[in-house]
Amino acid sequence: MKTMKKMLTAALLLSASGAAFANSCGEILGHSLPQLRKKETLDLCETYKGKTLLIVNTASKCGFTPQFKSLQALYEKYQDKGLVVLGFPSDDFMQEHDDAEKTAEVCYINYGVTFPMFATSAVRGSDVNPVFKALIAKTGEKPSWNFNKYLVSKDEQQVKHFGSKVSPDDADFVKEVEALLKAD
């Protein structure tokens, strides 16, 4: 009888730990971060697990800032197929407003962004935010400027890096997005 209880207890513990493991996320989504213009943090794992991600470091005063328009169009076209665009404003290249309200105005009013935007944070260097730390570790590619793009499979195992000059509406880039959505 004692042996049976021990076996049942062990089976229940193994089952519970397996369920917890199945619900966990990797290094990219395993964080809660503050959103742009909001006081609450967002649990990335809970919110975006199982989605194909396009993660972009953004800036409001950059020559690439008009990419917001094509990022928004890409998001609108593919969100029903599981794509989520995540924007991370950064002042690492000295082209982001110090005021979150001005950053939000550029994103939401000037470009009509509806995809999730996070509070301004570092995307490289010693104080890099944990999402970009994980992206850099997976790809070996640090953002060299604003609007670097990281395309992430829903299981976080595949991550492809694209530089600033690759526009979100570039035909080859869109093919990469479509291929990953189809594979996921």
Establish if 101 belongs to a structural domain.
Answer: yes
Q: Domain range for residue 105?
A: 27-183
Residues in the chain predicted with pLDDT less than 70, given as ranges, are 1-23
| 22 Cβ contact partners less than 8 Å away, ≥ 6 residues apart | none
What pLDDT is recorded for position 23?
Answer: 55
Kindly report the average pLDDT of the chain as a whole number. Answer: 90
Q: Which residues are catalytic?
A: 62
Q: How far is CA 151 from CA 3, 40, 132, in A?
A: 50, 26, 12
Residue 14 domain-assigned (yes or no)? no
Count of domains for the chain: 1
- Say what the pTM is: 0.87
- Rounded CA-CA distance 150/172 in Å is 15
- 8 inside domain: no
Q: Are 101 and 37 in contact (CB under 8 A)?
A: yes
Dihedral sign (CA 103, 27, 74, 128): positive
